[in-house]
Amino acid sequence: MKKAHMTLEASPRPAGRGIRLAAKIALFLGILVFLNYAVRWLANLVAFQMWPQHANMAVFLLFASIGLYILLLAIPFLPGIEVGLMLMAMLGAKGIVLVYLCTLLSLSLSFLFGRLLPSRYLARALGWFHLNRARDLVTSLEPLDTEERLRFLLRSAPSRTVPFLLRHRYLIIGVLFNVPGNALIGGGGGIGLIAGMSRLFPFPKYLLLICLAITPGPILFLLRAAQS
């Protein structure tokens, strides 16, 4: 009877943990949905029809849109691309070049933030979501340098896929920047943040990588502008 009583008392714990995890995930997703709607509302507010009486506001709106685009693209899961499309529509071919340069700056900022962010904060976030194995992995990698991290990951990988991804990590990151639907993993800002936090990419190589990886979009827009 005592054992049965102890079993009955212990059984609610996994269920309670699952409920707490579901509540945390729902809260996280709710915040993301709210922020996405807020950003779209703000973009629609800024992108109003310009008339001659609005000429004195044009410079302010331009710089506000540039700053908003850089900020939104650097933050994971926020739709910065909509503001970028608005800038290209407003400025034409010059706007395409401007958006390209702003994208380089934004993705660099997300990478540097990830590089400077202490690993213990990521470990706490993973622990908050009860991802204990990932938390322990981050904690184990914290004192290691780049080469030691790479050797540790290659040695500890549970399958053959992970070593392949690690050896071709520059190609994988370049592809992820251009894959439709990469918003599910945080978009460009999320990819840059993860790349910086991994500490497997020296910044000069990462900068060269994004210079090449984000060129297909601007080239396509320039060709369309030239044809029209």
pLDDT value at position 13? Answer: 52
Q: Which tokens is 43 given?
A: 């973009």
Q: What is the pLDDT of residues 83-102, one digit of tens each?
A: 787 787 777 778 888 899 99
pLDDT value at position 149? Answer: 79
Q: Which tokens is 68 given?
A: 């908003």
Quick check: 145 pLDDT over 70?
yes
- Rounded to whole angstroms, how far apart are CA atoms 188 and 194? 10
* Residue 9 binned pLDDT confidence (cut-offs 50, 70, 90): very low
For the segment 155-165, the average pLDDT, to the nearest whole number, is 73
- Rounded to whole angstroms, how far apart are CA atoms 29 and 8? 33
Q: What does the radius of gyration of the chain's CA atoms come to, in whole angstroms?
A: 22
Picking from 6-20, 73-87, 211-225, which range would have the lowest pLDDT averaged per residue? Answer: 6-20
Sign of CA dihedral 153, 155, 160, 165: positive
What are the start-end ranges of the H helices in 92-202? 93-116, 119-128, 132-141, 146-156, 161-167, 169-178, 187-198
Q: Which tokens is 45 given?
A: 């507010």
For residue 134, what are the contacts with CB-CB under 8 A and spacing of at least 6?
Answer: 126
Quick check: 75 pLDDT over 50?
yes
Q: What is the pLDDT of residues 26-39, one digit of tens each?
A: 777 777 777 777 77
- Rounded to whole angstroms, how far apart are CA atoms 119 and 137? 11
Q: Which tokens is 108 given?
A: 């660099």
For residue 23, what are the contacts with CB-CB under 8 A and spacing of at least 6?
Answer: none
- Residue 68: name the closest of 56, 85, 54 by CA: 85
pLDDT value at position 108? Answer: 95
Residues in the chain, how many?
228
**pTM of the model as a whole:** 0.75
